[in-house]
Amino acid sequence: MIHDLKTRKLSPELIVRIVVGVILSIYLGWRIYLSIFGDQAYGPDTWLRFLITGLVIGGIYALIAIGYTLVYGILFMINFAHGEVMMLGAFVGFFVLEAFAALPTPTEGNPELTFLNAYPVIALILVFIAGAAISALMGYALEKIAYRPLRNAPRLIPLISAIGASIFLQNAAQLLFGPQRRQYLNPDLLARGSGWMIQVGEKSVMLTYTGVFSFVLSILLMVGLFFLVKKTRLGKSMRAVAENKHAAALMGIDVNAVISKTFIISGLLAGSAGVMWGIHNGLFNHYVGFLPGIKAFTAAVLGGIGNIPGAMMGGMLLGLFESLGPALLGIDFQLKDVIAFTVLILVLVFRPSGLLGEALSEEKV
């Protein structure tokens, strides 16, 4: 659409789009105004609460979104099963925490003490490593089994394979671990629902420990990834392969290895995201990867597919939209998921290359 504006073509289609866009913007603007300044408006404390939630969930979405964007940039396919990789991370984290909680390390003052609470920092580090590692392994296996044989097939085929893998993994998890929702056993140090209290006027808002923890860890991981891609040799290889596989191969880059490593890195991030989800949200089951997966993909598209900072930004933005959106627009919280889909549709209709622009090679259509 922007291109059309540039070439000054005024097709009826363009006019319709502009009109619809303007009407929508006015309507939304009015509703937002109402919700901030109207009688029924929420107080600043509630807004802060929404903001905090949005940032935390945004960080998690960003981590998963990076995985999508990395894979899309290199293989031009939507890794439909990426949400399930995150889900696996959540499960692994759960089991490791349970194991630590079952490991008695009694002391004088506390005969009931378990490893989990005796060495919470070490426990957490191990939990994350385990979750990320297993997810990375899963990502690697996924590529090797379901995607590599289809490397040269028309785009539809690997997509179907990805859908199949997603269904398989979801149901495998359900059959293995049961459909019931499980609850993460956090160490006392990082208990859910506890945190610092912030005073906002007369009310107070809680800044949860788990929330801060997740957010900080997300940022750290994103920074780490950014350095990996920009500064290391692997990062350069990844960008080269994404740009042009054949040329990269001619330069001596082992394309298959780079692709595998891309999936491994995506898996690491998604696994961490899964563990974070468990620690912060508590409840999860085999279905936990589905919606966040789609939303994270939306985030990746929002930022510009193939564009890593775009994915990070898209993730944070989507988290904020989702959290602040229903309140701002005065709609039901039930429809929270609709917001993600609507954002996706709006972005693809009005700015398909995303906010920060796509970063793809010309090896496209």
Partner 1 sequence: MMKTSLKSATRTGMIFGLVFIFLTLIGFIVVGANMFGGLFVKSAENQNSVRVDAVNLLVFISLFGLLSGVVFQKRQPDAKWMHVVLGGLFTGLVIGLIAGGAVFLIGILHVKGIDLRNYLPNLGPDTIKFALFHSTPLSAAQTYLIFFIIFSLAGALLIKVISLGDGLKSVFDQVKARAAEQVDSQQLRDLMKNKFFLVGVGLLVAVLLYFLPLMWGSYWNYIMGTVAIYILLGLGLNIIVGYSGQLVLGYVAFFATGAYTFALLTAPYPHAIGLNPWLAALLSVVVSVLTGLLIGLPILNLRGDYLAIVTLGFGEIVRILVRSDLMTPFTNGPNGITNVGQPSWLGDVFSDVNYMHFLMLIVLLGLFVAKRLKDSRTGRAWIAIREDQTVAQATGVNTFQYKILALLIGAAFAGLSGALFASRNQFIGPEDFTLMVSINVLCIVIVGGMGSLPGVVAGAFVLKGLPELLRELSDYRLLAFGALLVVMMIVRPNGLLPDRTTWFSRPVPGKDQKNYDEVNQ
The footprint of partner 1 (CB under 8 A) covers 17, 76-78, 95, 98, 145-146, 149-150, 153, 155-161, 163-172, 175-178, 180, 294, 297-298, 301, 331-332, 334-335, 337-338, 341-342, 344-345, 348-349, 352, 364-365
- Shortest Cβ 319–partner 1 spacing (Å): 18
- Shortest Cβ 115–partner 1 spacing (Å): 18
CB distance 147 to 77 below 8 Å: yes
Spell out the long-range contacts of 201-206 with Cβ–Cβ below 8 A and sequence spacing 24 or more. 201/43, 201/44, 201/45, 203/43, 203/45, 204/45, 205/45, 205/48, 205/49, 205/52, 206/49
Q: Among all chains, which residue has been given the structure tokens 């099963």? A: 81
- Shortest Cβ 349–partner 1 spacing (Å): 5
Q: Which residue's CB is nearer to partner 1, number 121 or number 349?
A: 349
Q: Which residue's CB is nearer to partner 1, number 222 or number 301?
A: 301
Q: Which residue's CB is nearer to partner 1, number 66 or number 253?
A: 66
Strand partners, 114: 104
- Residue 27, phi-psi category: left (phi > 0), alpha (psi -120 to 50), beta (remainder): alpha
- Shortest Cβ 228–partner 1 spacing (Å): 26
Its sign, for the CA torsion 126, 127, 130, 132, is negative
**Rounded Cα distance, 298 and 276, in Å:** 20
Q: Which residue's CB is nearer to partner 1, number 210 or number 353?
A: 353
What DSSP element (H or E) covers 228? helix 209-231
Q: Which residue's CB is nearer to partner 1, number 162 or number 225?
A: 162
What token pair was written down for 104? 């008695």
Q: Which residue's CB is nearer to partner 1, number 255 or number 294?
A: 294
What DSSP element (H or E) covers 206? strand 203-208
CB distance 142 to 165 below 8 Å: yes
Q: Which residue's CB is nearer to partner 1, number 244 or number 285?
A: 285
Which residue, 77, 89, 72, 127, is CA-closest to 269? 89
- Shortest Cβ 4–partner 1 spacing (Å): 11
CB distance 180 to 285 below 8 Å: yes
- Shortest Cβ 15–partner 1 spacing (Å): 13
- Shortest Cβ 121–partner 1 spacing (Å): 25
